[in-house]
Structure 1
Amino acid sequence: MLFSQIIGANDQVKQASSMYWVVQDKMRESGGDRTLRELLPRWGIPHSYHDVVPIVGELRPDVNPEGNVIVMGSYSMRHAAKAKGWIPGCFDVGHITHDDYLARWGDDLLNASARVCRFEDAPRHIMDEFFVRPTIDSKAFAGQTYSREEFMSWHAKVMALNDPGAFVLPDTEIIIAPIKDIAHEYRCWIVDGRVVTSSLYKRGDDQHQVLMQGRIDDEVIDYASKFAAGSWQPNRAYVLDLCLSSSRPRVLEVNTLNASGFYAADIAKLVQALEAMVF
C-alpha cells in the first residue's frame, strides 16, 4: 500500500500535535521507519533527527524543545530523555524483571519455568541446548538459543574480560530456559490499555527469517488485549511480543516501545495513539 493511501484517510482526523518527536537518524531502513519520516512532516508534527552516541545516548546535535517530547530510536536515547526531564520521553520497561512478569502473568509466560541466575553462575544450570536472555529489557544482548559448547566459549570470554564497562558482566542476571516449540511470533503495540497495531514477524517454518505481515489472527489480538486491559501494566505504552506454542498464545517478552522495530505496524495508527495521550 502506498504511503498516501495509508495516511490519506487519517488526515481529516489528525488534531494539533501534542508532542515534539526526537528521532534517531539512520534508523533501521524498514518500511515503518520510512513511513514515519513521511508522516511526521505530512501531519505537521514538530520533529528533528539526531545522531545518537551509543550507550550514553548523547544527541548530536543537541535539542531542547518546549512542551511534551517523545524519543524514537535506539534504547540509549532513554538517557537523554531522562536527563532532560522530557515527558513522556521514553516509555522504559528496562527496570522490570522476569520475576515481576512471572508474579503478574504466571503461566502465560512462555518461559515461566526458566531458571534465573547470575551470568557467572550459568554453567551449573545449562543444558545441551537452551535459550538465554537478560532478565530485563536492557539490550545487553539479544535473547537466543545456545549449545553448551557455544555458551561456554562466550562465558569464558566474558569472565576473562573483567571490564566494568562491558554490556555483560559476571553479575548480569539472565534467564535460562529449555527450548520450546514455537509456531509463529507476533508483535503488538499497546498504548493506554489497548492494542493499537500489530504484526507477524516470524513464522514457525523459518524462525531465522524476519517477516512483515500486518494482519494477524483475532485469537492473538484478543489474547494481547487481555494484557492491555489488565490492572497491572509495564508502562502506559509498550511492545508485547507473543508466540503460538503448544497450540495456544504465550508471552515471549515485553520491550520498550520507543526502541522496538516496527515490522509491519500501522505507523499512522501508532502515531495517532501516542499523540492522543494526555500527560
Structure 2
Amino acid sequence: MRWAIQTNLGSRSDAEALAAVCRAQGHAVAPIVRPPFSDAAPELDTDEATVFYGSSSLIDSVVRDGRWRPGAWALDDDYASWIERYGAHMLNVDARFLSLEELAADAELANSEALRFCRPSADSKLIAGQVDSGAALVAWARRVLALEDASMDPDTKLMLAEPVGLSDEWRTFVVDGRVVAGSHYRSYQRLEVSPDLPGEVVAFTEALLARGSPAPVVVVDIARSGSGLYVVEFNGFNSSGFYAAELSAIVAAVSERA
C-alpha cells in the first residue's frame, strides 16, 4: 500500500502531517511535485495499490488517466443530483442551476441587488463559493466569457441559491458509509477549528449516506442552520483539508479500503 502525496501545495501542513502518519503506519510514501499549470498525469509506476493526495488538478489528472488503483475517488454526481437523492437534507435544496452562459444572459438577475450564493454545481475548484448581488454575478459571468483563455467554458454548470445563516460547520470523513473522523471548522462564518464532532453530526451523516454515497470514500461538510443539520456539500477525499480531524483514523480506514 502506497500513498502518493503532493509536496508543493500552497499549504504544506496537511501534506506533511499526512505523510508522517502514513509512514508511522508502515505505508510507503511517494512524494509528488506538481509543475505549475500542468494537467498531465504524474509519472509513477502502477506496481502497487496507490492513494493520491494533492491539488484538484493533480487528482483530476489521476482520475482521467485511470491507471492506478484506487488512485482517487471521484464523486459520481453533482449538487443537482444530491438534491434529488437527499432532498430537504441539503442546505441549498431550493437552488437554481444554470450555465455560465445563461447566467451572463439573465436580464432579471442583471438588475437585481438581492444577494445570491454561487458555486459550481459539480465538485470543482474552478471557483470558490461566493456571495454577491445578482447584478455583480452577471457582470462577473460576462467578464469570464470575454476572456480568451478562460478556465470555465460557456456550458459550465453553476448553482445559485439564497444565502443561509449557519451557526456551526463540521467536516466528516466517511469510508463505506461510516464516519471515521471529523472536525469542527467554522462558527458564524469565522474559522474556528477544533476536534469537536458531536454524536448527532455523526448519526445524521451516516443515516443520510445509508441512502447511497457519491463515492466509497468521501468528505461531507455538515452545518447547523437554526435547529437543524444540513449537508453543505460533498467533497472528493483526495484534495480535502483535514482541519483537526484525527489523521491516524483516516489513514487506517482509507488504507484498508484501498
Kindly state the Cα deviation for residue 33 of structure 1 after the two structures are TM-superposed: 3.3
Larger deviation: 191-200 or 19-28? Answer: 19-28
The residue that corresponds to 1:168 in the other structure is: 152
Distance 1:141 1:55, change over 3 A: farther
**Contact 1:116–1:176 under 8 Å retained in 2:** yes
Equivalent AA in structure 2 for residue 113 of structure 1: D
Distance 1:125 1:193, change over 3 A: farther
Asked if 1:135 is matched to 2:125, the reply is no
Q: Mapping of 1:43-192 within 5 angstroms?
A: 43-53=25-35, 54=37, 56-59=39-42, 62-78=43-59, 79-83=61-65, 85-93=67-75, 95-122=76-103, 123-124=106-107, 126=109, 127=112, 128-163=114-149, 166-192=150-176
Equivalent AA in structure 2 for residue 212 of structure 1: V
What number of residue pairs does the alignment pair up?
251
Kindly state the Cα deviation for residue 88 of structure 1 after the two structures are TM-superposed: 0.8
- In 1: Cα distance, 2:46 partner to 2:12 partner: 27
Equivalent AA in structure 1 for residue 122 of structure 2: I
Equivalent AA in structure 2 for residue 180 of structure 1: V
Distance 1:142 1:125, change over 3 A: farther
Asked if 1:246 is matched to 2:226, the reply is yes
**Contact 1:110–1:252 under 8 Å retained in 2:** yes
**Contact 2:121–2:158 under 8 Å retained in 1:** yes
Equivalent AA in structure 1 for residue 126 of structure 2: A
The residue that corresponds to 2:245 in the other structure is: 265
Structure 2: runs of 5 or more not aligned = none
Distance 1:51 1:118, change over 3 A: same
Kindly state the Cα deviation for residue 55 of structure 1 after the two structures are TM-superposed: 5.3
Equivalent AA in structure 2 for residue 265 of structure 1: A
- In 2: Cα distance, 1:224 partner to 1:74 partner: 25
- The alignment's C-alpha RMSD in Å is 1.9
Structure 1: runs of 5 or more not aligned = 1-18
- In 2: Cα distance, 1:57 partner to 1:239 partner: 25
TM-score (norm 1): 0.83
Equivalent AA in structure 1 for residue 15 of structure 2: D
Distance 1:30 1:48, change over 3 A: closer
- In 1: Cα distance, 2:39 partner to 2:83 partner: 30
Equivalent AA in structure 1 for residue 39 of structure 2: V
Identity score, percent = 27
